[in-house]
Structure 1
Amino acid sequence: MHVAEYHNGSVSYTTTGQDNPFPLMASAVTVGSYDGVHVGHRRIIGRMLDIASQERLRSVVVTFEPHPRQVIASGRSSAIELLTLPSEKRLLMESLGIDVLFVVRFDALFASRSSEWFIQHILLDLIGARHIVIGYDHGFGRDRTGGRRTLEKLAGERGFSVDVVDEVRLHDEHFSSTRIRTLLHEGRLREANAFLGAPYMISGQVVHGQGLGRKIGFPTVNIKLADPDKLLPRHGVYIAETHLDGQKYKVMMNIGIRPTVSDGSGAVIEAHILGYSSSLYGREVHLWLFERLRDEKKFESLDALREQLQKDKKMVELFQK
């Protein structure tokens, strides 16, 4: 998968480099923030990939960074909780087999552009869209005024076709990023993963912690999120997996305030990686969460905490995907 980035009229491209233009090519395209890359999103992208294969077109997903709501929101209280950070979205999109992820750097100027400007300048003139696939409720352009009607109106005039993917439901529930956020806040990880179509991902840089885990026989890596708007699921202990140096490792992961060993002043993310002993300081790691084991608990002593961690570790060792 190649990545193109658009900002203020300039496009950089991973294949040709900063000094060369993004190649104009007949393409099947879909557009969206795609936060979560959930099952509903995957249905849209899958339809776009089918059309690209049938019509021998390049497959392109157009997305926005930062998330438009992060730019448009008037204050932190109304800012979005992100399901996928940029590096996570890239991994998820690559796993779906698209040719190009076209990232639009979203700012106030871009937010002011009309939907017709976006269709003509970005989708047609820069990318070469010949077929555009959207979800049934998709809106884009200034104030989200563009959508199915705008695309269908312009399609005949400007030589492209439009495909609209109907609503997708699971157990009679609508697929939405909002629903997934609610499930994660409630600690209902299995249900959230069913809506996502993949394990929930948390990523960040490994930073130095207090070293208490090593002292009680459970060395951990501390994860610093790349964006504080990333949604953390309900505090607790989780079964997870990480990929390091070409290998997969099971992970016992804690998200929370560590009530036994800290003053509870702020949430931390700690991961005990089973069978891995090399230093990871400064590296970015990705963790896929499979199951929530339990709530956090304040133990009477470090020995009691160690005993519980041994039980948790056994559960992680026995876990099968």
Structure 2
Amino acid sequence: MTRYRNALPQMTGGVFLTDGGLETTLVFHEGIELPCFASFPLITDELGRLKLRKYFRPYLELARLRKVGFILDTPTWRASFDWGTKLGFSRDKLIEANRQSVEFLGELREEYEGQVSPLIINGVIGPRGDGYKVESRMSTDEAQRFHMLQMDVFAASEADMVSAVTMNYVDEALGIVRAAQARKMPVVVSFTVETDGRLPSGEGLREAIETVDRVSGAYPLYYMVNCAHPEHFDDVLSGGAWLDRIWGLRANSSTKSHAELDAATEIDIGDPEDLGARYNALRAKLPNLVILGGCCGTDHRHLTAISDACMVA
């Protein structure tokens, strides 16, 4: 049973933390091989679930110490049909992996009952293709049909919301929003940008947000930016009410471009304190910035620095 689907707590005030860079932590810090950079196969056996519990616990402990809410993201960024096929998952097994991912987070939520509150379960939907570049495009209708597999699983589960993460062109984001509308699911859209502050498609961040809002009747709860360093998009955060729609940030630790990160053989953790200071500075431009997390290269050290800099209780 969902707890918050009809009244998500982050919409009524307070700071919420998330985790950091799941896949980069598992690969570079834990030495876990993730074919196709996919973490969802770990959910299918107990050893994999133990590794995921180990990963999430430092973040949940930080939220407990800071006395703030937490948004638990399913490890399903790559758990869509094309990626699943590459990894040898049939459609039924892929559906089961998405379902198990929500159940796993439900168990974590029960474990931290009374210690971290509110705890929100967020079903994550990633791009059909590469998150760093636009190799091919779908129409909005095609994207809606393609992403309905995950949306149907999350709608039938105890997930409180869904997020379209690392979106790199508008039509795919709109397709996921339409799928969410069709299933009456609360949805968030998180765009990624290049070092010039524009989506990999070339579309501007403002243009992307305003287009999705205009076409969907402002259906997304809010927007986020992920998988980019704050210095890549700081300069484009000006010019009006669209900034009020950005509620969350999950930045990379590194200032490197997507192409450089794609070719990297070692992790670049950057400077956690500097990253925290940049988050705090962005709060002056983004008045509704209340969801604080990390993406590639970040871990619990970065989240600690971010929460310290933003004076999270």
Q: TM-score w.r.t. structure 1 length?
A: 0.27
Higher RCO by CA contacts (8 Å cutoff, separation 6 or greater): 2
Q: TM-score w.r.t. structure 2 length?
A: 0.27
Give the structure with higher Rg (CA): 1
